[in-house]
């Protein structure tokens, strides 16, 4: 299952991580977010130990989505060494997300 990140733990979990990190910005009322939520959880299990897969609820957290200019959800940011290296906006097929995560660990 994906790890919940928020404004207060983002620095420790995402920015300070020695592993690549995927952050899914979502909201409970967002249909496309709910469609990809099970995919995010599946990928979290698949890449456990290699990549941190997380979710950030934009309704409960304002600072981080604002900092990364998250204007639409779902937005998925891919971090490596504390830097955004890739981004996906909208619901995309599992294979696309899987490929992007796989490229983080190569």
Structural domains in the chain, CATH included, are 3-104 (3.40.30.10)
**What is the per-residue pLDDT for 1?**
85
Please give the helix or strand (H or E) that residue 46 lies within, else none.
Answer: helix 31-46
**What is the per-residue pLDDT for 41?**
96
Given the residues 5, 22, 23, 33, select the one marked as catalytic: 33
**What is the per-residue pLDDT for 42?**
96
**What is the per-residue pLDDT for 6?**
96
Neighbours of 15 (CB within 10 A): 12
Spans in the chain with pLDDT lower than 70: none
Cα 67 to Cα 17, 79, 103: the distances in Å are: 18, 14, 25
- Is 56 a catalytic site residue? no
Neighbours of 42 (CB within 10 A): 16
Given the residues 30, 43, 58, 73, select the one marked as catalytic: 30
Task: Classify strands 21-26 and 3-4 as parallel, antiparallel or unpaired.
Answer: unpaired
> Taking the model in full, what pTM does it have?
0.95
């Amino acid at each position: 299952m994906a790890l919940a990140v928020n404004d207060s733990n983002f620095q420790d979990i995402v920015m300070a991580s020695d592993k690549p990190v995927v952050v899914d910005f979502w909201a409970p009322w967002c249909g496309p977010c709910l469609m990809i939520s099970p995919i995010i959880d599946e990928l979290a299990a698949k890449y456990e130990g290699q990549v941190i897969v997380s979710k950030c609820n934009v309704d409960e957290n304002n600072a981080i989505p604002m900092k990364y200019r998250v204007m639409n959800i779902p937005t998925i940011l891919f971090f490596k060494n504390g830097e955004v290296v890739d981004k996906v906006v909208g619901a995309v097929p599992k294979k696309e997300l899987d490929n992007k995560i796989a490229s983080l660990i190569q």
